[in-house]
Amino acid sequence: MLTDTGVSRTKFMTSRDESSLMAAENETKTDRAEFRKEFENPRELFKNLNEHFYRRYSEVDDSDEFWEYMAKPLRQSVRINTLKGELKDILDLLKENYGDVFTRVPWCREGYFVRDDVSISGSSIEHQLGLIFFQEASSMIPPVVLGVKAESSILDVAAAPGAKTTQIAQYVENDALIVANDVKYSRINILISNLQRCSAVAHVTMCDGRRFRKYPEAFDYVLLDAPCSNAGMARKNYRYAKLWSLREVQSLSRLQKQLILAAYETLKRGGTLVYSTCTLDPLENEEVVDHLLSNTDAEVEKVRVAKGVEPVTEFEGREYSDEVKKCLRIHPQCNDTEGFFVAKIVKPL
């Protein structure tokens, strides 16, 4: 593996500090249970966590079902790594060790939900050997939609921690030029560790993703799983809702627009770009795609690999191109997953 860290170490703009993020990752099941016990009504729960968050996303989806699923614990899901063995053999091993507790993720052949009464830990031998990757089910969609082929050039603009990069590597069976980039040294270390654990081959670079516009039409495929406000991850950890702020959404939206233009610039004619986020905010989703359409000759292709809701074409007085209706907007109640957004974009010949 080639590791190239001699490029710029410019950080992505974000107002959330690292200590808050670390705290958010450490929420326990006990914390969640205590929240749920105190606030049996999901709406009251989120109002208590962050009333601005509740008001904002009530404008996006004010159904009771939406808030009920936002409050529910997230199902565990894993992706089997076929770089380490045959899918059936690894699945049989998992069933031997944990029982018949796996249900296939409909949109990903290698993805499986784990039954709620069973939990596979990060210290499990299957994880340590790279046979499985812990990956939220909706997060498996972008590499599937990207449709990569062997002997091609592929860029993952914001790759860490490496879930989607390793998924791409297994789809091309390590027979492609994969550039896995991220902006921060600590995240690069995690990315390299996961690539090595999964036997995935990629060239690792560290730079601000906006710099790739200096390399026009260099890649056949580009994945931009953009840094976002993580609003769709609130059911995984309530602190994502508690820490949420509109100012950060607005700042990230500006960054995402710059990143998607850079990603499109470095895409070859006839190539495919997938833009994805784990947020629910139109400013970070439909508005970013609309910005690309308004400033380039990009074309959007329909994504319907999973159940979704109608994408947003008007929000807070802003009107977006009807082309954004081809994107996939997933709310938690659609498939019992996190909230997610996926757009498939092609650069015409």
CATH of the domain at 94: 3.30.70.1170
- Non-local (6+) Cβ contacts of 96 within 8 A are none
Same domain, 94 and 212: no
Full residue range of the structural domain in which residue 282 is found:
3-9+138-346
Same domain, 109 and 184: no
Quickly list DSSP for 206-241: ES-GGGGGGSTT-EEEEEEE-----GGGTTT-THHH
pLDDT recorded at residue 14: 35
Q: Is 327 a catalytic residue?
A: no
Same domain, 105 and 200: no
Same domain, 258 and 274: yes
Helix (H) or strand (E) holding 335: helix 332-335
**Distances, alpha carbon 221 to alpha carbons 112, 134, 151, 249, 277, in Å:** 26, 24, 11, 27, 17
Residue 71 covered by a domain: no
- Collapse the DSSP code of 270 into the 3-class scheme (helix H, G, I; strand E, B; otherwise coil) and give the result: strand
Residue 140 sits at the vertex; the CA angle it makes with 137 and 141, to the nearest 5 degrees, is: 110
Same domain, 94 and 190: no
Same domain, 290 and 306: yes
Range name among 11-15, 33-37, 202-206 with the lowest pLDDT average = 11-15
Residue 279 covered by a domain: yes
Whether the per-residue pLDDT at 24 is higher than 80: the answer is no
Same domain, 266 and 126: no
Longest Cα–Cα distance in the chain? 57
Question: pTM to 2 decimals?
Answer: 0.91
CA pair distance 259, 238, nearest whole angstrom: 28
Give the pLDDT confidence of 63-112 residue by residue, as tens digits.
999 999 999 999 999 999 999 999 999 999 999 999 999 999 999 999 99
Backbone angles phi, psi at 164, to 5 degrees: -75, -30
* Structural domains counted in the chain: 2
pLDDT recorded at residue 4: 35
- Structural contact between residues 276 and 343, judged by C-beta atoms closer than 8 angstroms: yes
> DSSP assignment, residue 309?
B
**Distances, alpha carbon 210 to alpha carbons 10, 215, 256, 265, in Å:** 10, 10, 9, 10
Same domain, 104 and 233: no
Give the pLDDT confidence of 166-181 residue by residue, as tens digits.
999 999 999 999 999 9
Same domain, 128 and 259: no
Give the pLDDT confidence of 226-255 residue by residue, as tens digits.
999 999 999 999 999 999 999 999 999 999
CA pair distance 77, 278, nearest whole angstrom: 16
Residue 305 covered by a domain: yes
Same domain, 221 and 307: yes
CATH of the domain at 252: 3.40.50.150
Residue 172 covered by a domain: yes
Same domain, 92 and 158: no
Indicate which residue of 207, 228, 278, 327 is catalytic.
Answer: 278
Whether the per-residue pLDDT at 12 is higher than 60: the answer is no
CA pair distance 250, 320, nearest whole angstrom: 17
Where among 85, 107, 134 does a domain terminate?
Answer: 134
Give the pLDDT confidence of 118-141 residue by residue, as tens digits.
999 999 999 999 999 999 999 999
